[in-house]
Structure 1
Amino acid sequence: MQQTDRPAPSSFHVDHADIEKLVPAAHEHDRKRKRGREYLLVSIVRDLSTIVFGVLLPIYFLVYDRPPEFSVQLPAVSGLDGTPAAPGGGASISPAFDVALRVGNGRATGRCYHDGEALVTYAGFTVAAGRVPGFCVPGKGAREIQFQASAGGGGVGLPEHVLDRMALERRAGATLLDVEVKLFRRDDGSGRPMWIWCGLRMDGTTQSPSVAPCTVLGLQNWFSMKLYA
């Protein structure tokens, strides 16, 4: 009896070289999936942080850290009459001002300032200087701080045309003075300066100007130099 040749049964063969190729590929796939999950998590946290920051920051400034409101008045003014000098040499004045700085604090917590410096200027010329004492304003409260600014014993020399302009404006009841105040914060421990500018209109007599609102430029830092020596 003739025996028919049959094909040998196939056997399962594992190629170790193929396995070695597949294992790194699988690991790389897992790393990509892990990096993808981490990137998604970071993106979600970043987007949530942006939303929270964008919502809470305006609320913080509107409700909690509202900037203070300042106004100023000069209850007493003297010494604006010029003393003539030699012909063509201009003139000098020796002004003195009683200054009332009023502060309104709109935020819930108090504000404190170490001290400050103040200038009174006319047409760009400094005519008086003074120091502002340290003070605190309670939360949701107001306070008035009084101090003096003067030209000192030597007076202030002004060009003749500036003095003539001042005399003309005083007769017309339209003398324009600027009060600049530099305060140093104490409530946050930073000592950051705050610049306050106030423009006043004074009539031709010694009557004090009405209360004038001030512009607060708290985000602008001044140079470390003092306003006056």
Structure 2
Amino acid sequence: MILGLLYLALFVVPTFLPPADSLANPNNLPTTCSVELTGFRGLQAASAPGATSPAFDLVVRVDNGHDFPVSHGGGDVVVSYAGVPLARGRTPSFDVHAKEAVALPVNATSEGVGVPEDLLRLLMEERRWGVAQLEIELKVAWESFACDVDLDGQARSSACYKPTTIY
């Protein structure tokens, strides 16, 4: 009986408690971000005459939930479709005060690489069905984020999440 109570007190109960730093600083929230797709071009077959490289105009919003300012020298952004990278970009460097937010313009391009025809067919079909989504991976404030952004021509913000890594 004593061993059971000891097990509960040392292993089971602590797993349901919030982290100690959140108890000490309840207003100290993590950094979060969202991405808005404001425009895109070059979504045509690589072999099409006059084909241009895919490019995406994004606005990355970083919300600093911490009680201290966050500075960052910029981070990588990768825009993919169906797991295939289409374009790369970089967030500009930024400083954001405690409990404030900043919006960062990002232009992701693919320097001369078009979209493979099979992938483009899938993309166009999913756009017709209204289910096409881009995956956007970014590193901001020393953290990795991922966002799923609808490719329906409407500018709307999509909340990012921290990707889980399966080993």
Same fold (TM over 0.5): yes
Which TM-score band (shorter chain)? 0.7 to 0.9
Deviation, structure 1 residue 99: 1.0
Deviation, structure 1 residue 112: 1.2
Q: Distance in 2 between matches of 1:169 and 1:176?
A: 8
Instruction: Tell me the equivalent position of 2:14.
Output: none
Amino acid at match of 1:80: L
Query: Cα gap change, 1:130/1:55 in structure 2, threshold over 3 Å: closer, same or farther?
Result: closer
Q: 2:23 aligns with which of 59, 66, 69?
A: 59
Q: Aligned-residue CA RMSD in angstroms? A: 2.6
Instruction: Tell me the equivalent position of 1:31.
Output: none
Question: Counterparts of 1:1-16 in structure 2 under 5 Å?
Answer: none
Instruction: Tell me the equivalent position of 1:166.
Output: 123
Query: Cα gap change, 1:171/1:55 in structure 2, threshold over 3 Å: closer, same or farther?
Result: closer
Residues 1:126 and 2:85 aligned together: yes
Q: Distance in 2 between matches of 1:98 and 1:175?
A: 17
Amino acid at match of 1:122: Y
Q: Distance in 2 between matches of 1:164 and 1:142?
A: 38
Q: Distance in 2 between matches of 1:115 and 1:60?
A: 30
Query: Cα gap change, 1:55/1:134 in structure 2, threshold over 3 Å: closer, same or farther?
Result: closer
Amino acid at match of 1:166: L
Q: Distance in 2 between matches of 1:210 and 1:107?
A: 26
Query: Cα gap change, 1:71/1:172 in structure 2, threshold over 3 Å: closer, same or farther?
Result: same
In structure 2, the residue corresponding to 1:115 is in which secondary structure? coil
* Percent identity over paired residues: 29
Instruction: Tell me the equivalent position of 2:64.
Output: 105
Residues 1:175 and 2:139 aligned together: no
Structure 1, unaligned runs of 5 or more:
1-53, 86-91, 186-192, 221-229
Instruction: Tell me the equivalent position of 1:211.
Output: 157
Q: 1:202 aligns with which of 121, 136, 151?
A: 151
Q: Distance in 1 between matches of 2:89 and 2:130?
A: 25
Structure 2, unaligned runs of 5 or more:
1-17
Deviation, structure 1 residue 72: 0.3
Task: Give CA deviations for 1:29-76 in whole Å, capped at 9, x if unaligned.
Answer: xxxxxxxxxxxxxxxxxxxxxxxxx98433246433x21121100111
Residues 1:143 and 2:102 aligned together: yes
Instruction: Tell me the equivalent position of 1:155.
Output: 113
Instruction: Tell me the equivalent position of 1:27.
Output: none
Q: Which has the higher helix share?
A: 1
**TM-score computed with the length of structure 2 as normaliser:** 0.76
Instruction: Tell me the equivalent position of 2:7.
Output: none
Highest relative contact order (Cα 8 Å, sep 6+), 1 or 2? 2
Deviation, structure 1 residue 216: 3.0
In structure 2, the residue corresponding to 1:98 is in which secondary structure? strand
Quick check: which has more Rg, 1 or 2?
A: 1
Equivalent residue pairs, number: 147
**TM-score computed with the length of structure 1 as normaliser:** 0.57
